[in-house]
A and B are shown apart, each in its own frame.
Chain A
Amino acid sequence: MYVAAKGGEKAIRNAHALLAKRRRGNRNLPSIGLDQIAQQLTLAVDRVMAEGSLYDVELAALAVKQARGDLIEAIFLIRAFRTTLPRFGYAKPLDTAGMQVRRRVSATYKDLPGGQLLGPTFDYTHRLLDTSLGQGGVGGEGHEGHAPATQPETSVEAEPMPRVTDLLGREGLIEGAPEDDGTEPFDLTRAPVSFPVDRSTRLQALARGDEGYLLALGYSTQRGYARSHPFVGEIRFGDVEVIFEAPELGFELSLGTVQITECQTVNQFKGSATTPPQFTRGYGLVFGQCERKAMSMALVERALRWQELGEEPGAPAQDEEFVLSHCDNVQATGFVEHLKLPHYVDFQAELDLVRRMRAEHEEERREAGLKEAAE
């Protein structure tokens, strides 16, 4: 039973004032602008949008600032904000084949139409700290003479970039994606989830799930817990157009673009009585440039399909109810962190109980001792 605690208003007010002061830090330093956060801490902003499940760069930057860089707190702020807005409707599914690609790599084909584009990546960096980023003077990043990225002068023709899975699919070597039969996908922001769920619901839950959690679960599948031998068929990151049919207009409108990361894994499948051996796939799709998350999502998504593919169950990453019930970091942090709020009455009850049990225990021991002495 939860019993409310009252009081502490003044302390709470003062704590919040102190939080604001600490958040601001040394007032001799300029306050960080939201545009600076959006431009220079882009990947933090992307993660907040992905797990906050709300695409709005400026709001995510504000949340990062207000949360003092605590990304889960920032995600919480975004989730709370979204509940204040009306829902205008559902957009048409994003067309990732039509993406204006900023990065695109495949670990399965070295030569593929459209080519491999590394884009802005940490891959192949030496992971050495660059002290020049901390310097303001000559040689430092803040200095005008600091070398900017070379600007290629050549103009490049737009090239079509078919998804790798589409290439494999033409030969029938990989399973097709589940067909769009016109059914409206389940929306877990509108109705409670009850297990078992379909693949669309899993994808929605995973897309807003915690990156660290999905990383650990994805890692576990590689280490042998639900082993499915994945290859990264393709990762692409870039801009896609948002298309929405406004009810009052009756035709489709282009609302602008969002950045997303897509990961397609290609996994083993030995075939069944009805299906010849072919590759299977896992799918990851995330707001922003969140590559680790998109890959982890694809690994976990594939592991969750064990039943459909006739695989042996038993690994944590295959347990749909376990995976999906614990992937939301706002729910998780709410339940974990509520433990620090006053539980005085609960605890008093437990204290009384333990004291009583101890007294009884003592009594029993004393009686047993007397009995022994008498024998």
Chain B
Amino acid sequence: MQPSLTHSTDGNAPPAGRQSAMALLARAESGELDAMLARLAPVPASADLRPPEIGLVMLRGRTGGDGAPFNLGEATVARAAVRLEGGATGFAYRLGRDASAARKAAVLDALWQDATRRPAVDEALDPIRARLAEEAVRLRAETAATKVDFFTLVRGED
């Protein structure tokens, strides 16, 4: 499923595009992140602001779909925070337990924040964007093939 996030709820808005870049980094496979880093080489050395770690986020639903929230159950999440040598800090939160992928995503988030490197990072995200779009199209087509038109019959009871 493609990320939809383009908004922020408060005044602390990130630079335009960072949320969608981070959403793609959260959905990238570990190998895709490796490919991005290779493509963007050389990447400055990075230090952990917070060592990559695995934890839980409690997911919520809404009563009736649109009502008061309730706690549905947890999901595993890997997160990391890094600082690039002489550069920005980067963060990553991803569903799952791949801590090293979270660290790679955090490095890429830090690179994205360097205005001079941003276009290259955005471009390197293209294959992930394309894969997600392709998956969404395929899923929609497969599902649409199962669309039914039920019709009701008038029973012959005159």
Chain A positions within 8 Å of B, measured between CB atoms, are 49-50, 53-56, 58-59, 82, 85-94, 96-98, 100-103, 110-111, 115-119, 149-156, 158, 163, 165-166, 176-181, 183, 185-189, 199-201, 203-204, 207-208, 239-246, 248-258, 260, 262, 264, 281, 283, 285, 287
Cα(A177)–Cα(B145), bound, Å: 33
Chain A positions within 8 Å of B55 at CB level:
85-88
Known: A98-B4, A254-B26. A181 touches B68 (CB 8 A): yes
Say yes or no: B146 contacts A118, CB within 8 Å: yes
Q: Select one of B3, B10, B141 contacting A152, CB under 8 A.
A: B141
Chain A positions within 8 Å of B37 at CB level:
none
Say yes or no: A110 contacts B77, CB within 8 Å: no
Given contacts A97-B65, A176-B67, A185-B70, 9 further A-B contacts (CB under 8 A): A53-B74, A100-B136, A118-B148, A179-B68, A181-B68, A189-B74, A200-B63, A241-B4, A251-B13
Say yes or no: A180 contacts B62, CB within 8 Å: yes
Chain A positions within 8 Å of B95 at CB level:
55, 242, 255-258
23 contacts between A and B (CB under 8 A): A54-B73, A56-B76, A82-B74, A85-B76, A86-B55, A102-B143, A110-B152, A115-B148, A116-B147, A116-B148, A117-B143, A156-B137, A177-B66, A180-B67, A185-B69, A188-B71, A189-B71, A240-B1, A246-B91, A251-B10, A252-B5, A258-B59, A287-B72
Query: In this assembly, does B22 line the interface, its C-beta being within 8 Å of a C-beta of chain A?
Result: yes
Q: How many whole Å from B53's CB to the nearest CB in chain A?
A: 7
Query: In this assembly, does B64 line the interface, its C-beta being within 8 Å of a C-beta of chain A?
Result: yes
Say yes or no: B136 contacts A200, CB within 8 Å: no
Known: A110-B152, A152-B144, A204-B72. A55 touches B59 (CB 8 A): yes
Say yes or no: A165 contacts B73, CB within 8 Å: no
Query: In this assembly, does B118 line the interface, its C-beta being within 8 Å of a C-beta of chain A?
Result: no
Describe B's contact surface by its main secondary structure: mixed
Number of residues in B with C-beta < 8 Å to the partner?
66
Say yes or no: A163 contacts B71, CB within 8 Å: no
Say yes or no: A242 contacts B75, CB within 8 Å: yes
Query: In this assembly, does B139 line the interface, its C-beta being within 8 Å of a C-beta of chain A?
Result: yes
Say yes or no: B74 contacts A54, CB within 8 Å: yes
Q: Select one of B19, B61, B81, B97 contacting A254, CB under 8 A.
A: B19
Chain B positions within 8 Å of A, measured between CB atoms, are 1, 3-5, 7-10, 12-14, 19, 22-23, 26-27, 53-77, 79, 81, 91, 93-97, 136-152
By beta carbon, the residue of chain A nearest B143 is A117
Cα(A308)–Cα(B77), bound, Å: 38
Chain A positions within 8 Å of B79 at CB level:
88, 246
By beta carbon, the residue of chain B nearest A186 is B71
Say yes or no: A177 contacts B57, CB within 8 Å: no
Chain A positions within 8 Å of B139 at CB level:
100, 102
Chain B positions within 8 Å of A103 at CB level:
143, 146
Q: How many whole Å from A280's CB to the nearest CB in chain B?
A: 10
Known: A203-B63, A239-B1, A256-B27. A183 touches B68 (CB 8 A): yes
Cα(A110)–Cα(B95), bound, Å: 37
Q: How many whole Å from B27's CB to the nearest CB in chain A?
A: 6
Say yes or no: A55 contacts B73, CB within 8 Å: yes
Q: Select one of B4, B54, B64, B77 contacting A255, CB under 8 A.
A: B77
Cα(A54)–Cα(B57), bound, Å: 9
Cα(A131)–Cα(B1), bound, Å: 35
Say yes or no: B57 contacts A185, CB within 8 Å: no
Chain B positions within 8 Å of A189 at CB level:
58, 71, 74
Q: Select one of A59, A93, A150 contacting B61, CB under 8 A.
A: A93
Say yes or no: A241 contacts B1, CB within 8 Å: yes
Chain A positions within 8 Å of B137 at CB level:
155-156
Cα(A250)–Cα(B19), bound, Å: 12
Q: How many whole Å from B33's CB to the nearest CB in chain A?
A: 14
